[in-house]
Amino acid sequence: MQAAARRPRTNHLDLAQRILDVARQRGFEPGARLPEQQIASLCNVSRTPVRAALSLLAGQGVVRWEADTGYHLAIDLAAQPAIAAELPSAEEDELAEAILRDRSARRLDQTVTVAGLMRRYDADRKTVLKALNKLTDENLLDRAPGQSWLFRRTPDDPEAQGESYEFRLLMEPAAILAPGFRLDGARAAALRQGMEVLSALPDANFDTREFQRLDMDFHGMIAEGCANRFVSDALADHLRLRRLPGIYAGVNVFRLRQSLREHLGILDYLESRQYEVAADLLRIHLRLSRNQRPQAASRGAPALFGMIRRPD
């Protein structure tokens, strides 16, 4: 965890991402002006952090500075949905990712302490606390008594995955059907383009990580489009768990391609405002996505679903 000084601050990165989200939602085209005051007002912040965030985006070539007119959008956001992945990450973000990766591989126990993490990652207390707070904000961790934190249960075992799909089957179609659902048209267009590009790749080059990004964005878009804030928040919290490493492991490319086609079909009906059909298709999509692979099988034995206790 070195070179912290060269890394951008988390709040500037978050704001840079929010600026891009606003620009995408409002359909800003390449070359569009990005007045600092307007951006500050849209993002509910002062001009100073906006300037820093725009400078960060300029460094990535996403916006450009012109002496007379200020910042302008330099790219077509609808055609480049993956800007976020290209932004540099803050030190605590990297640490949070490492913590999640190590928990997923069971290198970390369910309970972790600040001191233990400082030792393990050779990081200072402040950075560890920021990373833990970030994971807590994302509902991946809970504060436990003392200086310890407890990982929440994630859908990375068959039983939890089953419960996760049951929850999503209840909530995601309901998100579409709740009165007032609004589709983010620009985000939908960018997603469609991304999914079509991925679908066109041959199996050998199929990018599972890109699938994961598109999948999370697609389902996140549905959650955020819901007019019922409680449904929207509950879904957003749950879907965040799906970004953990290993959640998408083991799904073969055939099913991922099929899943992309199902996403595109649902998008068709969302865009044509046939929400009941979209909700039905979403229900089918979730049922098909639920992994049915048994956990164990052997000659003459009934296939095992779910987990068993550790043998004595």
Partner 1 sequence: MTRKASPTIALFPEASFGAALNCVGIAQALRARGARPVFICHAGFSGVFADYGFQEYQLPTNEPLSDSDRQSYWQAFVRRHLPHFRLSPIDQLETYVAPTWQAIVDTAVNAEAPLRQLLARLKPDAVVLDNVIMFPAIAAAGCPWVRVVSCAETELPDAEVPPYLSGMAADDPQREAFEARYLSASAPAHDRFNRFRADSGLAPLPKGLFLETSPDLNLLLTPTIVRRERAEPLDPDRFVYLEGCVRSEGPFEVPVFPRNGGPLVYVSFGSLGAMDVGLIERMLAVFDRMQARFIVNAGGLRDAYRAVPDNVYLDAWFPQPSVVAKSDLFIHHGGNNSFCEALRFGVPSLIMPYCWDGHDNAQRAGETGVGDHIGRDAWTEGGLERAILGLLADDVMRARLRENAARMALTPGTNVAAQAILSLIGT
- 1-22 CB burial, b ≥16 within 10 A, e <16: beeeeebbebebbbbbebbbbe
Nearer to partner 1, 24 or 103 (CB): 103
| In the complex, least distance from residue 91 CB atom to partner 1, rounded to whole angstroms | 16
Where do we find the tokens 């436990």? 144
Binding site for partner 1 (CB under 8 A): 98, 101-102, 105-107, 109, 156-158, 203-206, 208-209, 245-246, 249-256, 258, 291-312
Nearer to partner 1, 180 or 202 (CB): 202
| In the complex, least distance from residue 127 CB atom to partner 1, rounded to whole angstroms | 17
Nearer to partner 1, 188 or 253 (CB): 253
| In the complex, least distance from residue 297 CB atom to partner 1, rounded to whole angstroms | 5
| In the complex, least distance from residue 207 CB atom to partner 1, rounded to whole angstroms | 8
Nearer to partner 1, 82 or 227 (CB): 82
| In the complex, least distance from residue 281 CB atom to partner 1, rounded to whole angstroms | 18
Nearer to partner 1, 185 or 246 (CB): 246
